[in-house]
Copies of this chain bind each other. A is one copy, B any other.
Amino acid sequence: MARIWPDASAPVGLLQAAADPVRWTVLARLAEGTACVCELQEHFPIAANLLSYHLRVLRDNGLVTTSRRGRWVDYSLAPDAWQRLRDALPGSLPEGP
């Protein structure tokens, strides 16, 4: 796909990261403030490793950042997450100031 529609590759990847029920809800929760995995876990009746998988997708797309605090890992929304998602919507003007 990157070969054929180079313009679409990056934004589509970002949108795909957000277009999942678990990841969408995680992002919505993090929009209200930082949370450790164990707290996120309480919101999701899914296995811990599955949640970890989804968090990894968000990390790999730069939508969230992490920091370890003792035994816990805190997840925060990346500062530009909202902006980047917004710019990734089709019809949005190409990235710029």
Contacts and interface: CB of A to CB of B under 8 A. Distances in A.
Given A19-B15, A21-B1, A25-B8, A77 B89 contact: no
Nearest to A63: B90
Main SS at interface, chain A: helix
A18 interface: yes
A81 B90 CA distance: 10
The size bracket of the interface on A is: 20 to 34
Interface string A3-22: 01101110110011011110
Interface string A25-60: 111101100000000000001000000000000000
A85 B19 CA distance: 11
